[in-house]
Amino acid sequence: EVQLVESAGGSVQAGGSLRLSCTASGITLARRWLGCFRQGPGNVREGLAAVDNDSRTKYADYVKERFTISRDTAKTILYLQIDSQVPEDTATYYCAATLTRLSALIAPFRPAEYRYWGQGTQVTVSS
């Protein structure tokens, strides 16, 4: 069984930082695009950042340099660092992995490009 497991999110004050991680079982995270998404109450799931097998990164325009996606050298763990958090960051955060290394090449922030998803972790930012 394939599973992506996100670390616990939590509650933070505005201006704070948080690092989320994502590990996998049943598949290797190598040779795939890995993406981070979030979904706030009443909102659609939006892409935040993505990283390919060669650790090249892409960020959504609205991320505004506050988010950093990375993967460890063994390509077994995905990280999302969120800095200068604002209440609008309150959402459920998801990690996702594509089926192949070519998936998501054109549209790395399109949820349909990703085959495997984590269960989601809640992040709440208070003002």
* pLDDT higher than 80, residue 60: yes
Give 72's pLDDT tier (boundaries 50, 70, 90). confident
pLDDT at 104: 87
Q: What is the pLDDT of residue 25?
A: 87
Tokens (6 digits) for 51? 């990283």
Q: What is the pLDDT of residues 34-48, one digit of tens each?
A: 999 999 989 999 999
- Model confidence over 18-27: pLDDT tens digits? 999 999 888 8
